[in-house]
Structure 1
Amino acid sequence: MSEPLISLWGGGPWQDPARAAEAREVAAELEELGFHRLWFSGGFGDGVLPAFGELLAATRTLGVASGIVSIWTATPEQSARAFAELEAAHPGRFLLGLGNSHAPAVEGRGGRYDKPYSRTVDYLDALGGRVPRERLVLAALGPRMLELARERTLGAHPYFVTPEHTALAREALGEGSWLAPEVAVVLDADAAGARATAREHLATYLQLPNYTNNLRRLGWGDDDLLHGGSDRLVDALVPWGPQERVAAGVRRHVEAGADEVAVQVLGGRGDFPRAAFRELAAALV
């Protein structure tokens, strides 16, 4: 087995213009610590999200990926143009992650969540060759989207998944496609506290049918999906505990076939959990 690539998945602070200077400083430290890539969400509806370019400019080798740009909020033309701008300024370092989002998010903005698979196919057709397939991944969970990721892109970036899903995704993708699951973790040895932190995170996603349907395909029942998740589901989705136990949970995805794991540290309360990043680097990088 080749050495796994360990990346980080980040949320709000990375996009906050008021914290841009701090974000650049943290990104430079992540590069020094040896992390492969930084994933964070954002769109191109109004042009390139400034943070993508700023973080690439603040580093020399650290990759940056969109996890993910929604196909409902950015047109193929906007995504292609944004990719071209980032590629021209920072060759080879930006990975475009696309996804079909969720019905509540799309409909909450007044859109219609209709035939997401077909829309994804049409989106990829419209991109044409403007984004090379080796620089493009899909947020794929189910069999059809995984097949599309295998056929049309570098591979898949599944979010909110267990090691069992990673194994199934590897089987569906085959050995030639890239598999980079997101894995949320909690560095807290207290079971009650760690699970409470995990449930705050899970509660939002357990209201989204794409995720709950995927969990049901894996055999999880309705009781597991209530009240932020059963203890068994929390433990399967979110490795928690001291450094060594969390690292072992991340490695389970590597053992299941992941080429890269995008680790999301929970519990930072909107801050950059720099101490946790250092612990993870010591254990995994």
Structure 2
Amino acid sequence: MTLRDRIGRLGIWGRELRTTALTEQQRDHAAELESLGYGALWLGGSPSVEHAVPALEATSRMVVATGILNIWQHQPSVVGGLYADVERDHPGRFVLGLGVSHAQLVTQYHRPYSAMVDFLDLLDLAPDPVPRERRVLAALGPRMLHLAASRSAGAHPYMVPVEHTAAARAALGPGPLLAPEVNVVVETDPSTARAAARAHLAPYLAMPNYTANFMRFGFTDDDLAGGGSDRLVDALYHWGDPDRVWTRLEEYYTAGADHVAMQVVRPDGAFPIEQYRMLARQNA
């Protein structure tokens, strides 16, 4: 079974289940997400391989992925060994998502593309290498997308408009996996939805990797000011009732996505299990 087949069309991206020990309620949530038909759980918050183990143990089929492991914080040989342990216990169910993070968050940040190439080289040479087909790269720009196509199963871009998905598919070609993270707000009131989106967007507007990518797709300094224009917010956060949200998600598939890693944004930050239930029923 290919990775594309294992993860299906729809998964979840979130930080809530990124932990080395799930509570009973978290275990129940993980099991329910699997029963609702979500094919993959992408763990945010710069997880390590170990963070995937509790969710794997709480489920039986769903793929668990790092979304993403920060390459500056880990040694490739250690990552390879941890991958081998997880693969032994949960064969075929873990995906290693790798990324270069951001200069504001990593003191040693330097030549990120070359750093990723070096990390992949060492990962291939590790005593327990991670196979190309079981790793993906958090690729935004053309060079990293081409690297994702040549050295991994594909790309897992974060915080992207649908136009990026079309461009990423063109850069990757037809074969590699394309699994963008996509933000949704299940809220019909425009002011409430956009306020929740802007609160979530705020830290990303201070990160040049993202803002440069926004501008690559036609957004301007005016769009980035004041917490983000309505045009920018509406391109990055797909809000409304489940029908409207699903109409927007379908645009990513049409643009070339194989899988959408859906992040549900809630103003209160609570685990959005009700929203996951509504959106799963909409997908049924």
Same fold (TM over 0.5): yes
SS of 1:258's partner is coil
TM-score, scaled to structure 2? 0.93
Superposed CA offset, 1:252-272 (max 9, x none)? 111100000000000163322
Q: Distance in 1 between matches of 2:122 and 2:184?
A: 37
Superposed, which structure 2 residues align to 1:21-36 within 5 Å?
21-36=24-39
Per-residue CA deviation, residues 103-143 of structure 1 (Å, 9 max, x unaligned), is 0000xxxx221100001000000000610111000000000
Q: How many residues align?
A: 275
CA distance in 2, matches of 1:166, 1:265: 19
Match of 2:111 in 1: 115
Q: Which residue of 2 aligns with 1:53?
A: 53
Q: Distance in 2 between matches of 1:87 and 1:269?
A: 36
In the TM superposition, what is the alpha-carbon distance from 1:74 to its structure 2 partner?
Answer: 1.1
Counterpart-to-counterpart distance in 2, 1:177 and 1:284: 24
Matched, 1:128 2:131: no
Match of 1:262 in 2: 261
Which position in structure 1 is the counterpart of 2:199? 200
Structure 1 unpaired stretches of 5+: none
Mapped contact 2:158–2:181 kept (Cα < 8 A): yes
Identity percentage over the alignment? 51
Tell me which residue corresponds to 2:93. 93
Give me the whole-angstrom Cα distance separating, in 2, the residues matched to 1:184 and 1:92: 27
For 1:21 and 1:82, locate their aligned partners in 2 and report how far apart those are by CA, in whole Å. 25
Q: Secondary structure at the match of 2:148?
A: helix
CA distance in 2 between counterparts of 1:191 and 1:121 reads: 43
* Counterpart amino acid of residue 53 in structure 1: V
Query: What are the residue-to-residue correspondences of 1:1-285 with 2, within 5 Å?
Result: 5-11=9-15, 13-16=16-19, 20-41=23-44, 42-44=46-48, 48-49=49-50, 51-106=51-106, 111-128=107-124, 130-267=129-266, 269-285=268-284
Conserved 8 A contact 1:10-1:264: yes
- Describe the shift of the 1:74–1:18 C-alpha distance in structure 2 as closer, same or farther (beyond 3 A): closer
Distance 2:163 2:202 in 1: 21
Aligned-CA RMSD value: 1.6
TM-score (norm. length: structure 1): 0.93
Alpha-carbon contact 2:8-2:39 (below 8 Å) kept: no
Relative to structure 2, which stretch is displaced further, 263-272 or 174-183? 263-272
Structure 2 unaligned segments of length 5 or more: list them. Answer: none
Paired residues of 2:187 and 2:241 also in contact (CA < 8 A): yes
Matched position secondary structure for 1:101? coil
Whether the 8 Å CA contact 2:22–2:55 is kept in 1: the answer is no
The alpha-carbon deviation at position 24 of structure 1 amounts to 1.2
Check 1:59–1:180 CA distance in 2 against 1; reply closer, same or farther (3 A cut): same
User: Alignment partner of 1:96: what SS?
Assistant: strand
Equivalent pair of 1:43/1:74 in contact (CA under 8 Å): no
